[in-house]
């Protein structure tokens, strides 16, 4: 018998074929990315990931659309994490969640982020660093801003946007009543985010912080929600509902306010930067007729306030493909993708170089002033309350919502809120 025996040669060939098949399967992994869908967000994620898949044929990426309200999204994530589910690999994480979700996220510094973190705003990185671990890579930073109709303000004889909330109230009333009398019964003065969710925490914090009414819980751990300025400012906002703002504003999230403003039916809007690009789109009826500026303050000369927002991508500690997942997360936060999102969607990114890009500035002239606004933006008390932040924010927006809808008067709502925050956190109460 020769050494060339068919019995010994066929076996390795068969094995090789089997192994090759197994390798091919092992090489092609699917990464599930949980994202939001505000404005053009979903479409831009999809566009970026198509490019990623073309460059990385071994990684397939699928998008999992999650509830648009941040509060519901957090609830969904906690369900995934409690079940240690491997069904989601990359997650869009709000700026206030790193402390809540920390234990369920991998350290991205172990997966290549160490090479790029130096390009990012140090504050955005610091926000996501917990015990020396980078639990998510920041790709968006935002601040609450005032959108206003330049044409209407000019038509009604106003020199520029309002400096105080009182001025906003009176300007909104004049323009709204004038426009209604002129034949637009759908015109409103001011739209914002008044639904009972995280977005209302952001809006109300701006009213409070710009009026000397405190920042809910101060960085020294004092609960400061119950004071005369807070009662007054909450009474003011409750008065807007049904006068300058539609009654339905107490059910509005970001895109509800944007849709109304973009349809030409509001003089003022509070929103994040993303609403700019859509309003200036070719088919928009308000194209060229609005601008964006800082929010008003409580009294002349007092500092105005913008709540700090932002989004990051984190990788689940229960992912079966953390390497591939981290590659996707880092790509979605990279400068080319931040540039795409800024040019096409007015999403303000977390890499300083973005704000020097001529195309980005041409499409979003207001980006030139954004870095200063971000630097002085008011953070929500998520660092100081840690894992209790979810309960703290829920208590706050529920109390504010009760006052807005008239379930309770502002003073009672805030007195009860103070007690609730004491019992959640154990912190002392005081004046701002
Ligand atoms: C935006 C912000 C986020 C905030 C949310 C509220 O998505 O980026 O930080 O919590 O709006 O609705």
Residue nearest atom 5 of ligand 1, based on CA coordinates = 199
CA–centroid distance, residue 412 to ligand 1 (Å): 28
CA–centroid distance, residue 177 to ligand 1 (Å): 32
Residue nearest atom 12 of ligand 1, based on CA coordinates = 199
> Are the C-beta atoms of residues 161 and 146 closer than 8 Å to each other?
yes
pLDDT of residue 10: 46
pLDDT of residue 8: 41
Identify the CATH assignment for 5-143+308-375 out of 3.40.50.720, 3.40.50.300, 3.40.366.10, 3.40.190.10. 3.40.190.10
Is 291 exposed, middle or buried, given 0-12, 13-18 or 19+ CB atoms closer than 10 A?
middle
- Fold equal for 5-143+308-375 and 145-306+382-425: yes
pLDDT of residue 69: 76
For the CA of 94, the nearest atom of ligand 1: 9
CA–centroid distance, residue 148 to ligand 1 (Å): 21
Domain spans, the chain: 5-143+308-375, 145-306+382-425
CA–centroid distance, residue 94 to ligand 1 (Å): 7
CA–centroid distance, residue 308 to ligand 1 (Å): 8
CA–centroid distance, residue 259 to ligand 1 (Å): 17
Q: Which residues line ligand 1 (CB under 6 A)?
A: 70, 94-95, 142, 198-199, 202, 272, 309-311
Residues 55-64 pLDDT 10s = 999 999 999 9
Residue nearest atom 3 of ligand 1, based on CA coordinates = 309
Q: What is the CATH number of domain 145-306+382-425?
A: 3.40.190.10
**Residues of the chain falling short of pLDDT 50:** 1-11, 24-25
For the CA of 310, the nearest atom of ligand 1: 8
Q: CA separation (Å) from 235 to 167, 303, 410, 417, 430?
A: 16, 20, 6, 15, 21
Is 106 exposed, middle or buried, given 0-12, 13-18 or 19+ CB atoms closer than 10 A?
buried
Q: Which pTM does this prediction carry? A: 0.92
pLDDT of residue 9: 43
């Amino acid at each position: 018998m020769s050494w060339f025996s068919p019995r010994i040669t066929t076996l390795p060939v068969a094995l090789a074929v089997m192994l090759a098949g197994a390798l091919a399967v092992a090489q092609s992994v699917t990464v599930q990315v949980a994202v939001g869908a505000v404005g053009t967000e979903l479409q831009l994620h999809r566009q970026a990931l198509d490019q990623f898949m073309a460059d990385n044929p071994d990684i397939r990426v699928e998008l999992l659309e999650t509830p648009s309200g941040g509060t519901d999204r957090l609830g969904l994530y906690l369900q995934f994490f409690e079940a240690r589910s491997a069904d989601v690999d990359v997650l869009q994480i709000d700026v206030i969640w790193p402390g809540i979700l920390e234990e369920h996220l991998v350290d991205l510094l172990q997966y290549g982020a160490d090479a790029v973190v130096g390009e990012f705003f140090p504050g955005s990185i610091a926000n996501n660093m917990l015990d020396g671990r980078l639990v998510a890579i920041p790709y968006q930073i935002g601040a609450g801003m005032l959108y206003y109709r330049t044409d209407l303000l000019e038509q009604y004889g106003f020199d520029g946007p309002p400096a105080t909330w009182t001025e906003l109230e009176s300007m909104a009333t004049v323009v709204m009543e004038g426009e209604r009398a002129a034949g637009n019964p759908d015109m409103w003065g001011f739209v914002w985010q008044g639904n009972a969710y995280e977005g209302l925490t952001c809006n109300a914090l701006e009213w409070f912080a710009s009026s000397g009414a405190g920042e809910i819980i101060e960085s020294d751990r004092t609960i400061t929600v119950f004071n005369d300025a807070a009662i007054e400012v909450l009474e003011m906002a409750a008065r807007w509902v049904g006068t300058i703002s539609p009654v339905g504003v107490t059910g509005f999230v970001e895109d509800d306010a944007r849709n109304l403003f973009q349809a030409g039916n509001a003089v003022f809007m509070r929103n994040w930067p993303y609403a700019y690009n859509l309003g200036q789109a070719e088919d928009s009826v308000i194209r060229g007729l609005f601008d964006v500026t800082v929010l008003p303050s409580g009294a002349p000369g007092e500092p105005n306030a913008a709540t700090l927002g932002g989004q990051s991508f984190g990788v689940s500690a229960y992912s079966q493909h953390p390497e591939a997942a981290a590659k996707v997360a880092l790509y979605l936060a990279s400068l080319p993708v931040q540039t795409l999102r800024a040019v096409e969607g007015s999403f303000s990114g977390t890499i300083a170089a973005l704000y020097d890009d001529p195309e980005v500035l041409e499409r979003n002239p207001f980006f030139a002033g954004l870095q200063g606004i971000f630097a002085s933006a008011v953070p929500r008390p998520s660092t100081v309350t840690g894992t209790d932040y979810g309960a703290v924010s829920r208590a706050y927006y529920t109390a504010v919502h009760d006052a807005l809808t008239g379930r309770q008067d502002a003073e009672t709502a805030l007195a009860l809120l103070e007690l609730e925050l004491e019992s959640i956190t154990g912190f002392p109460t005081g004046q701002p």
